[in-house]
Amino acid sequence: MSSFPLLAAEEEPNPLLPHVSEVILVGVVFVVLYLLVRKFVVPSFEKTFAARRDAIEGGIARAEQAQAEAAAALANYQAQLADARGEAGQIREQARAEAQRIVEDLRAQAQAESGRIVARGEEQLALQRAQVVRELRGEIGTLAVELAEKIVDQSLADDARVQATVNEFLADLESQDSARSGAPVAASQTGAGS
């Protein structure tokens, strides 16, 4: 019986060693699969990887292009903003200059109008003064004649004489008035014919 286990051990194949036919079969299947994978699967993977790489690189390129366009748009925007600020500054300066010019024009007009009003007032004052002097000459002359008649108790009917006396009296009054005020009185405004 002792030989039986040896026979049994000889007839049973070793599980650690494969059969030659299995090795050949596995080698052929491996080569066939390798060729199929290399011919069909690897190119599709390569194509997919290339498409993905192109998409990624294209996306990066598009992103860089978009970033460059954004930077250009930002620079353009900043330039336009600077131009707008400069133009706004010029408009403000023009408005200030225009306002200053208007103020100066209005001031000049007001001064001219004030000068006209003052001149008109002085003219009216001179006319009124002349009129008052004429009226006073007549009244003072009449009063002086009446007073002189009463004092002298004689009639001074001669008009030329009366007029000369009145003018002399008024000239004396004017010289006294100008000596007091220090300003010359326009005696020429009151003529002898008034």
DSSP 8-state symbol, 29: H
* Calpha distance 14→22 (Å, rounded): 14
* Calpha distance 194→141 (Å, rounded): 11
Q: What pLDDT shows up at residue 38?
A: 92
Torsion of CA 131, 133, 135, 138, to 10 degrees: -140
How many CB atoms are located within 10 Å of the residue 8 CB?
9
Per residue in 107-140, pLDDT tens?
999 999 999 999 999 999 989 988 888 888 777 7
* Calpha distance 190→131 (Å, rounded): 9
* Calpha distance 103→109 (Å, rounded): 10
Per residue in 29-67, pLDDT tens?
999 999 999 999 999 989 999 999 988 888 888 889 999
Q: Name the residue with higher pLDDT: 15 or 27.
A: 27
